[in-house]
Amino acid sequence: MDIIETQQLLRFFAALVFVIALMGGLALLMRRIGSNHPLTAPHKRRLKIVETLPVDARRRLVLLKRDNKEHLVILGPNSETVIERNIESEKNEDAPHGS
């Protein structure tokens, strides 16, 4: 009985190692071809949070950027209000922004 159990145990671990190696190989393959494949290529994001500022304990000002326009919004627990829209975006995007 011990020989059969040992063989089954060794076969189980060999199969486990084989499956983990297959998963790792597939992950490497997907990483290598993933950036060039049209279905998995990351698209350029159009929406981004530029800056946030807490107004008080319940409300927060958020500066959102879409394409080249920025929108100032105040967020509360039960409402959202647009303060200003279509603000021209800064030309230098490398300038530091607070969060």
* pLDDT digit string (tens) for the chain, length 99 residues: 567 788 899 999 999 999 999 999 998 888 877 655 555 556 677 888 999 999 999 999 999 998 888 999 999 999 888 888 888 766 645 445 554
Residue 75 burial by CB count (10 A; 0-12/13-18/19+): exposed, middle or buried? Answer: middle
d(CA 52, CA 58): 13
pLDDT value for 38 = 58
Q: Is the CB of residue 49 less than 8 Å from the CB of residue 63?
A: yes
pLDDT value for 53 = 93
Phi, psi of 89 (to 5 degrees): -75, 150
pLDDT value for 46 = 84
pLDDT value for 13 = 95
Domain ranges of the chain: 1-43, 47-88
Coil vs helix vs strand at 97: coil
pTM comes to 0.47
Coil vs helix vs strand at 1: coil
